[in-house]
Amino acid sequence: MAKYAMAINLDRCQGCRACMEACKIENNTPQAVFWMYVFRTETGEFPDTKMSFMPRPCQHCNNPPCVKVCPVGARFRRGDGIVLTDADRCIGCRYCEVACPYGVNYYNWRTPTEAFAAYDVDFTDPEVEAVTGGVIPPYKNPDLDRPQGDEQRMTAGSAHSVGVMEKCTFCVHRVEKGLEPACAEVCPVHAIHFGDVEDPEGPLSTYLRERAGFQLLEELGTDPSVYYVGGGPPTAETREIERPLTEVQR
Amino acid sequence: MTTETMTTKRELPQGIGRLSTGWIAFFAAMVAVTVVGLYAYFQQLGNGLIVTGLRDLGTGGGATWGLYVAYYVYFIGVSFAGITVAALIRIFKIEKLEPVARMGELLTVVSLILGALAILADLEHPWRAIVNLFEFGRPQSPFFGTFSMVIAGYLFASLVYLYVTSRRDAARLALQPSRFQGLYRFLAAGYEDTPEQRRIDRRATFWLAIAILPLLVIAHSTVGFVFGLQVGRPGWFGSLQAPGFVVLAGVSGIGNLIMLAAIVRWATKTEKRITVDAFAWLAKLLLGLLLVYLYFTAVEILTITYQASAAEQVLSDALLKGTYAWIFWGAIVSLVAAAVLLTWKALTRRWTIAAAVAAGILVNIGAVAKRYLIVVPSQTHGQLLPYPIGSYTPNWVEFAVVFGLFSLGAIMIGVFMKVFPIVPLEEAEQ
Amino acid sequence: MVDLTRRTFIKGSAAVAGGTLAAKRFLFGGFETVEPTNKLLLAQQIREDFVNTTCWIGKQDCGIVARRIDGRVVKLEGLDAHPKNKGTLCPKGVAQIAAVYDPQRVKTPLIRTNGKGGPGEFRAATWDEALELIASKVKPVLEEDPKLFLWQKGRSKAKVFYDTAFVKATGATKLGHGAYCSDAGYRALEYTLGTHAVLHPDFKHSKYILSWGWNITNAGGNKTCWITWPQQMLDAREKNGLKIVHLDPRLRSAGPFADKWVPIKPATDMAFALALCRELIALGHLDEPYLKTYTNSPELVGPDGLIVRGELPADAEEGDQPPALVWDLATGQAVPHAEAQDPALTGEFDVDGVPVKPAFQLFTEHVDPYTPEWASDITGIPADDIREIAAEFGENANIGASIVVDGVEIPYRPVGIMAYHMAQQELGFQTVRAMTMVSMLVGAPGAVGGQLSDFTWKIYKNYAKFENLKVEEGPYDFTLKNSKFFPINTGFPGIVAKVMQDPAKYEVEKLPKVAILHYVNPLTAFPSQKDFLDSYGKFEFVAVLSPWLSETADYFADVVLPTATMEKYEGPSSASDQYIDGKALRLPVMDPLFDSRGEIEIYIDLCEKLGVLYGEDGYIAQINKALPLEDEFALPLDEKPDVRDIFDRWSRMEGLEGGIEYFEKNGVWIKGEVAATKRYGYATDPPFKGALHRLYGESLLVAQRKQQELGADEVYWRDYTAFPTWRTPTFEQSPAEYDLTLISYHLVTHKQSRTSMIPLLTELSGKQRLDMNPETARRLGVGEGDEVVVESHNALTGETRQLRTVVALSEAFRPDVVGMPHHFGGWSPERNKGLGPSPNEIFYTGEGYMVCTADQSFHVKVRVLKG
Ligand SMILES: Nc1nc2c(c(=O)[nH]1)N[C@H]1C(S)=C(S)[C@@H](COP(=O)(O)OP(=O)(O)OC[C@H]3O[C@@H](n4cnc5c(=O)[nH]c(N)nc54)[C@H](O)[C@@H]3O)O[C@H]1N2
Ligand SMILES: Nc1nc2c(c(=O)[nH]1)N[C@H]1C(S)=C(S)[C@@H](COP(=O)(O)OP(=O)(O)OC[C@H]3O[C@@H](n4cnc5c(=O)[nH]c(N)nc54)[C@H](O)[C@@H]3O)O[C@H]1N2
Ligand code: SF4
Ligand code: SF4
Ligand code: SF4
Ligand code: SF4
Ligand code: SF4
Ligand SMILES: [Mo]
């Protein structure tokens, strides 16, 4: 069986956030939800300032604390390493959220209608509905409504149901179709690579072999499937700048 | 002996069945608070947790666990008291505490129920949660798995215990015609208080007590594990977390029991039964646990200030001198004040109920604060990636629900007192 | 009022929807969404297809594949085959999908019902009515004087249809945004090297570049939108070990990619460039063969500043200049440049008793006082750093080396400059000239790995024109072309706004009467807002073509025509990344939403109403000429064309079998690799397409004298000097309490004012802010997120202006500089309110805040007060 992993090259990342946007459109995530998040940071003082950018999807840990704590097995790890949330089963206890060291979980505080209305775009406008058939958002991706994989389980990509946890799915619906995740696909400078690390001759293994890298918060023993190449992990001095609008609006 | 025996008085003891204006006023007030709590809860049920002050941690800059979880931990902690005391009485035969045993057991049951309600309040879809927990519950999860089972077991055991220790009183009350005679008969369930039955009862409760003690440690430890096993949140991971939880549970529980005992003593006019000695005993127990807890706290402060990792540093700064300093130092001050007060009383050997109650109040303030501090700051200030420092302020919905739970608990105890003797009846025939 | 009707409609439907929702909630609580819904969709058979198109937002028209479900676009992805974006997209490219469905788009043509100059009230109209109205207002003006019909555009796409064909068919005065972009840079390069572009390196072979105010991680750089250059830069870093020296008051523009950050003081770039020139000369990093052969460096200049010229050859044509003379060291006499064997670059010579010097000698003398120490005082950069950069630049240039590319041996100078908006400063034109000279000294222009400008080496028509600058006597037309004020002037909306406010001052007699605003939004996109507020009300009639009610439309449009966004045909656009050439078309991803239409269709109908569609010089004929469409592919002049058919003809004419279907199928037409002989100036035939690079700007000096002669004030002529000459910029003369310099820049998550209504992008970028160094903030007593008032000062008029915003701290910022992104400050549609102001509210335009070529500077002194 394949074992999926991602390599993110910090020596190429421009911090542009296209991956964030592609993730939002592909997965129809509502306002203030960032399954992919890109840190823009700086360290040091003028003029010895250094900047760096770091995209942060779910790390799809091989030893995932979020899976361990889930009381109902809604958070599960597939054999191919993809960690998913079964939206049908999740009871919204948010234990995975507090247990995850990477802060990648997003709870659905609002119904999709409310959450998209917070963008201040009235997608229920009759003239828009005439074109979209009333789906919200108008770019709703039908793939997300399907259960995925051998288990045929839901993957928290679908209805963004209120009261249910969700996070990056490694775009399982795309992977199942043989496509790259949306963030990897869009990256303007090809900083994100996705593939099978179990295949030693595969492009991802080769890519990783040729470059020095690290896993985020390695010391915690979570063993992420996301490998960072180049750059370096954030330190205590790392300050975030240019934060997106992250406030949940009603 | 001399007091209220059912043979001399036609009325049930301890004011059972009679509603004083004071009780009615108290009951009405509690109902009112509960209704407000319910209203808030329905707001939440209808509109979701968005109506609370909870938000995502990380980019969300909030805390996803807040007041509900803090109070859930607190309530579970309070449950420590009754069963411990009752068990201690059975095991060590501490006669003086006999009169507070039942209210202790009751406190355990009520606070476990409140704890369970607090956690249900934290879930947007309580029904779905219950159904899915039954269907898919995973024991590996400290929160709902081990915990829900232990708590459920704990609650069940406590109920059994309460029942078994109350059967004799039920049997005796069942002899006397009263409004509740049927209920008492039902509860007595054939128990006739024969010496043989009594002996069996004693043995059963003894062994039940022995069995409950480890269950109790496990239960409170697992609450500690909810946090203590999490490597990903500064301030949580640590081996002291579980013992700390157990001890603080004891502190808050005993403190609560002292308060409850004082109220019951006054309300049921059982001054003669519940002696200052009983309070002294409880207070000493409290002092012992409190000192252990303060020791843990000192170790904790040392650990977080001495060579903490950068992330822990942010958190300890927030606790010791930042956003949460007032809560943290407030808690320390009230716990230390209680310890000082109790130590002084212990040294002078001049115990008063007022002092014990004061200590009880102080430690509960401290306990609530500490529960809040274990739950919230690690989310808002415990980021391992350069997320913003978060903030969380519980809003009126959460406060209303929590107050509602408190008043619900008060209602349960108040109603119990009006249908059953909360202070075990004396051995009349002796 | 269409606005009102729409709102009531929404309210009505919202009430119904709200009611149902409330009922559901009451019965089921939040249950409605507990179950992942739409499982229904599972059973349903969906239809998926893909449409190839191009990005509608950015200026490089990246290739896009639109995924559609049952005809509804659900995702935009990069088109793999498109050389500019190679299968990727930037955040804007992805997010534009939300804009397509925006219910706040203008849905029908609108006609104004209230007075202009304030928030507009409109009523819905039919296309016929709206176009009829425009025609009735424009026609009389065309009859009177078509030049008084102003056609103004911003970054328009499909120039052939609009800028060329429509303008020619109507005879309108065309006004670009250009001067608000990098026009001063274009003029500098047209003047100096002859190319129509600014500066960029040959990334494929480059080893050392000066990233000079290049917003690497956010914006364009020369000629592209974004993706292309960062890709090439990263590849060059990985493959050639490219080193990037970043000159910018803020580091954020280069992010982690600056190997060395040179936090230069704003608007002192010319001083830095001149010092580099001096050092390169002092260190002897000079490519003499290039300077002697391909530049006017050896040409002899007399004491009057004019180039010494010989006799006109017998076969000279009318208007030819006599040949410039150089001193031939081989023969020891002055000969025409072309005939010299070894022209002298330095020394002093005697020609017919007149003491003359080669221009290069004069340049050496000119830059001699511009020492690194001198520049250090001005630029705030240590002299040693300047020396080091000059030395590294010179050494990396490998002067004398050559390399074989595509079988052609070409000089190899792997150093260059990437700069675009360096033109946006008061000395912009001359600054870009000075920067170009840095490259020229080492022979980098047109060399492999060296200094490139355009994607292929072409000579723009202005190169020849600039040999003699027209400086005429008034009265002038309202753009001030050929005036004594701005002898180099390609049209600048700021000047038109100034002229409209005070025509007499500029000796203008006739002001424009009617205007069509196409793809442009002066009120928020351009400095200064006040000038547009004060002048655009003077138009008798304004029509705006835009998918949204732009701020300019809100205040000044009599008629608004709703254009489609991605749902239209447009093009053809270049797909070149400078290494691979190609063409692409924007194909409609859906039918136009609401009652909007594509611009080409709109202009066809408008021209019909104006009576200029058919016939010999009509719009159709102009389209035939501009595209071009010839022979059997030409559109019949008497038949209203269909837009798809136009592109079909064009595709066939270009030799693509299947016509437009080729694009429908492939999205892009790859023409193949750009030959080295087209890209590198050295390798063209003749080298540099025959243009002699102008180190010495003789015609600038001549123009200056003419300006003086005609009585123009010093502000207009002082920068018309033969060599770039440093002076302290005007804005620096504001009183000392205006102690900070305000700069502005672009964010990768927005495109000018065009995307601010896409809330998905606002979510990513955050709202407006004032970037400042924490040290500055401490001094001012403010912190992150605090509200402040920014007050600017006009050093010439004493006027002050204010805006309010919030502080954002960054150590990657010069402490004496504050900055604001462009993009904000809109109020239309509604949701743009509250995003914060535009710096254009407090910038100034006009004298002192313009480049000598009628272009905008984006610097002003401000003070920051606690809000
Ligand atoms: N995402 C995005 N991309 C775009 C655009 C957009 O709006 N958004 N717009 C497109 C267009 S139309 C254009 S013209 C290009 C522009 O592309 P660029 O020229 O790369 O863009 P700017 O953002 O203006 O970057 C100017 C840089 O110069 C710096 N600067 C300001 N003043 C000075 C100075 O005096 N000296 C020096 N050395 N540096 C200075 C600023 O800090 C800023 O980093 O981008 C194109 N691409
Ligand atoms: N302070 C400051 N100001 C700047 C800059 C800066 O760096 N700082 N940059 C400058 C630069 S580089 C430039 S190029 C200019 C750009 O300035 P503009 O070219 O004016 O660009 P936009 O602000 O995007 O305005 C375009 C307008 O066109 C309309 N529009 C959008 N899409 C379409 C369409 O499909 N069809 C039609 N017909 N109309 C459409 C919308 O109303 C939109 O407001 O801004 C300049 N202004
Ligand atoms: S799209 Fe690529 S370059 Fe942009 S932020 Fe994401 S990883 Fe970085
Ligand atoms: S990053 Fe967090 S959510 Fe993702 S697998 Fe690891 S622990 Fe779970
Ligand atoms: S929120 Fe859902 S997925 Fe997360 S732990 Fe709770 S039940 Fe599991
Ligand atoms: S893999 Fe998919 S879900 Fe995960 S961050 Fe990338 S785009 Fe989002
Ligand atoms: S770089 Fe420009 S043209 Fe390309 S996708 Fe982004 S906005 Fe569009
Ligand atoms: Mo531009």
| Res B7: pLDDT | 47
Q: Do C72 and A132 touch (CB under 8 A)?
A: yes
Cβ neighbours for B38, distance < 8 A, ≥ 6 positions apart? B404
Cα–Cα distance for residue pair C441/C283, rounded to 1 Å: 11
Respond yes or no on whether the N-terminal peptide bond of residue A244 is cis (omega within 30° of 0): no
Establish if A8 touches chain B: CB-CB under 8 angstroms. Answer: no
Cα dihedral value C829, C831, C835, C841, nearest 10: 20
Question: Which ligand is the nearest neighbour of the Cα of C63?
Answer: 7
Radius of gyration of chain B (CA): 22
Cα–Cα distance for residue pair C92/A18, rounded to 1 Å: 8
Is the pLDDT score of C550 beyond 90?
yes
Q: pLDDT confidence of B303, banded at 50, 70, 90?
A: confident
Radius of gyration of chain C (CA): 28
Establish if B193 touches chain A: CB-CB under 8 angstroms. Answer: no
| Res B212: pLDDT | 80
Q: Do A14 and C230 touch (CB under 8 A)?
A: yes
Specify the residue with its C-alpha closest to ligand 5, atom 4. A96
Establish if B125 touches chain A: CB-CB under 8 angstroms. Answer: yes
For residue C764, what are its two tokens?
């990513």
Q: pLDDT confidence of B51, banded at 50, 70, 90?
A: very high
Cα–Cα distance for residue pair C867/C856, rounded to 1 Å: 29
Q: Do A234 and B50 touch (CB under 8 A)?
A: no
> Which CATH number applies to B18-419?
1.20.1630.10
Backbone phi, then psi, for C851, in 5-degree steps?
A: -80, 160
- Let me know: does C494 contact C506? Beta carbons within 8 Å: no
Residues of chain A with pLDDT under 70: 158, 250
Top-confidence residue, C138 or C158:
C138
Of B310-319, C3-12, C790-799, the range with the highest mean pLDDT is: C790-799
Is the pLDDT score of C241 beyond 90?
yes
Cα–Cα distance for residue pair B118/B406, rounded to 1 Å: 10
Residues 63-122, chain B: which have Cβ within 8 Å of A? 64-65, 122
The residue of chain B nearest to residue A162, with distances taken between CA atoms, is B48
Task: List, for residues C305-362, the tens digit of each pLDDT value.
Answer: 999 999 888 888 877 789 999 999 999 999 999 999 999 999 999 999 999 999 999 9
Q: In ligand 5, which atom is closest to the CA atom of A73?
A: 8
Q: pLDDT confidence of B223, banded at 50, 70, 90?
A: confident
Instruction: Give me the sheet containing A50-56, strands edge to edge.
Output: A50-56, A37-43, A239-241
Specify the residue with its C-alpha closest to ligand 6, atom 2. A171
Residues 92-121, chain A: which have Cβ within 8 Å of B? 92-95, 97-107, 109-111, 114
A18-26 and C91-100 helices cross at what angle (nearest 10)?
Answer: 40
Domain ranges within chain B, ordered by starting residue: 18-419
Task: Give me the amino acid identity at B162.
Answer: L
| Res B270: pLDDT | 84
| Res A250: pLDDT | 65
ipTM over 0.90: yes
Q: pLDDT confidence of B427, banded at 50, 70, 90?
A: low
| Res B145: pLDDT | 54
Is the pLDDT score of C706 beyond 90?
yes
Cα–Cα distance for residue pair A163/C140, rounded to 1 Å: 64
Backbone phi, then psi, for C566, in 5-degree steps?
A: -85, -5
Own/partner contacts of C456-459, CB < 8 Å, gap of 24 or more, are C456/C578, C456/C674, C456/C678, C456/C679, C457/C195, C457/C678, C457/C679, C457/C680, C457/C681, C457/C684, C457/C688, C457/C689, C458/C195, C458/C196, C458/C689, C459/C194, C459/C195, C459/C688, C459/C689, C459/C690, C459/C691
The residue of chain C nearest to residue A243, with distances taken between CA atoms, is C766
Task: List, for residues B266-295, the tens digit of each pLDDT value.
Answer: 888 888 888 898 899 999 999 999 999 999
Is the pLDDT score of C428 beyond 70?
yes
Please state the rounded mean pLDDT for residues C741-770. 95
Interface A-B: count of C-beta contacts within 8 A:
153
Cα–Cα distance for residue pair C38/A135, rounded to 1 Å: 10
Closest by CA position to A242, among listed C264, C525, C747? C747
- Let me know: does C333 contact C323? Beta carbons within 8 Å: no
C688 lines ligand 1 (CB under 6 A): no
Specify the residue with its C-alpha closest to ligand 6, atom 6. A183
Domain ranges within chain C, ordered by starting residue: 6-35, 184-300+355-463+691-698, 730-866
C185-194, C215-224, C790-799: range with lowest mean pLDDT: C215-224
| Res C63: pLDDT | 98
Backbone phi, then psi, for C682, in 5-degree steps?
A: -65, -30
Q: Which residues of C302-337 are buried (b: 16+ CB within 10 A; e: fewer)?
A: eeeebbbeeeeeeeeeeeeeebbbbbbbeeeebbbb
- Let me know: does B232 contact B241? Beta carbons within 8 Å: no
| Res C32: pLDDT | 35
A182 lines ligand 6 (CB under 6 A): yes
Is the pLDDT score of B307 beyond 80?
no
Give the C-alpha distances (Å, rounded to integers) separating C352 from C148, C340, C356.
52, 18, 10
**Percent of chain C residues topping a pLDDT of 90:** 90
CA–centroid distance, residue A171 to ligand 6 (Å): 5
Question: Which ligand is the nearest neighbour of the Cα of A141?
Answer: 6
Q: pLDDT confidence of C219, banded at 50, 70, 90?
A: very high
Task: List, for residues B132-168, the tens digit of each pLDDT value.
Answer: 888 888 877 877 655 666 677 788 888 888 888 888 8
C227 lines ligand 7 (CB under 6 A): yes
Q: pLDDT confidence of C586, banded at 50, 70, 90?
A: very high
CA–centroid distance, residue B120 to ligand 4 (Å): 25
Please state the rounded mean pLDDT for residues C402-430. 96
Interface A-C: count of C-beta contacts within 8 A:
232
| Res B3: pLDDT | 43
Q: pLDDT confidence of B81, banded at 50, 70, 90?
A: confident
CA–centroid distance, residue C150 to ligand 1 (Å): 28
CB nearest to B124's CB, from C25, C26, C30: C30
> How is domain A4-109+143-241 classified at the architecture level of CATH?
2-Layer Sandwich (3.30)
Kindly report the nearest CA distance between residue C446 and chain B, in angstroms. 45
- Let me know: does A203 contact C94? Beta carbons within 8 Å: no
Kindly report the nearest CA distance between residue B20 and chain A, in angstroms. 43
Kindly report the nearest CA distance between residue B44 and chain C, in angstroms. 9
Top-confidence residue, C438 or A136:
C438
Task: Give me the amino acid identity at B381.
Answer: H
Instruction: Give me the sheet containing C149-153, strands edge to edge.
Output: C122-124, C110-112, C559-561, C541-545, C514-518, C149-153, C173-175
Interface B-C: count of C-beta contacts within 8 A:
15
pTM of the model: 0.94
The residue of chain B nearest to residue A68, with distances taken between CA atoms, is B141
Q: Which residues of C37-63 are buried (b: 16+ CB within 10 A; e: fewer)?
A: ebeebeeeeeeeeebbbbbbbbbbbbb
Establish if A180 touches chain B: CB-CB under 8 angstroms. Answer: no
Is C730-866 in CATH node 2.40.40.20? yes
Best A53, A109, A114, A127 member to test C by mutation, with max C CBs in 10 Å, is A127
Top-confidence residue, B379 or C3:
B379
Respond yes or no on whether the N-terminal peptide bond of residue C756 is cis (omega within 30° of 0): no
Backbone phi, then psi, for C740, in 5-degree steps?
A: -120, 150
| Res B138: pLDDT | 83
- Let me know: does C847 contact C805? Beta carbons within 8 Å: no
| Res B149: pLDDT | 62
Residues 129-148, chain B: which have Cβ within 8 Å of A? 129, 132-133, 135-138, 140-145, 148
Specify the residue with its C-alpha closest to ligand 7, atom 7. C58
Give the C-alpha distances (Å, rounded to integers) separating B368 from B251, B252, B372.
11, 8, 6
Task: List, for residues C475-500, the tens digit of each pLDDT value.
Answer: 999 999 999 999 999 899 999 999 99
Ligand 5 pocket list (CB less than 6 A): A 69-72, 74-75, 85, 90-96, 165
Give the 3-state secondary structure of residue C234.
helix
Residues 812-831, chain C: which have Cβ within 8 Å of A? 812-815, 830-831
Please state the rounded mean pLDDT for residues C147-173. 93
Radius of gyration of chain A (CA): 18
Cβ neighbours for C684, distance < 8 A, ≥ 6 positions apart? C446, C457, C677, C678
Task: List, for residues C23-42, the tens digit of each pLDDT value.
Answer: 444 433 343 333 434 444 44
Q: What is the DSSP string of C442-508?
A: TT-BTSBTSEE-SSS----HHHHHTTS-----S-B-TT-TT-SS-SS-S--HHHHHHHHH-TGGGTB
| Res C20: pLDDT | 53
Specify the residue with its C-alpha closest to ligand 7, atom 8. C58
Which helix (H) or strand (E) is C210 found in, with range? strand C208-212
> Which CATH number applies to C184-300+355-463+691-698?
3.40.228.10
- Let me know: does B51 contact B98? Beta carbons within 8 Å: no
First to last CA, chain A: 43
Is the pLDDT score of C22 beyond 70?
no
| Res C345: pLDDT | 98
Cα–Cα distance for residue pair C299/C323, rounded to 1 Å: 10
Cα–Cα distance for residue pair A138/A127, rounded to 1 Å: 12
Ligand 4 pocket list (CB less than 6 A): A 58-61, 64-66, 83, 100, 102, 104-105, 167, 222
**Residues whose beta carbons lie less than 5 angstroms from ion ligand 8:** C 181
Please state the rounded mean pLDDT for residues C240-262. 97
Distance of alpha carbon C270 from the chain centroid: 20
| Res A51: pLDDT | 97
Cα–Cα distance for residue pair C597/C606, rounded to 1 Å: 12
Task: Give me the amino acid identity at C207.
Answer: K
B58-72, B219-233, B401-415, C826-840: range with lowest mean pLDDT: B219-233
Instruction: Pinpoint the alpha helices (H) of chain A.
Output: 18-26, 65-69, 95-99, 112-117, 126-132, 172-175, 182-186, 203-209
* Residues in chain A closer than 8 A to B49 (CB atoms): 92, 107, 109, 163
- Let me know: does B250 contact B81? Beta carbons within 8 Å: yes
Specify the residue with its C-alpha closest to ligand 6, atom 3. A168
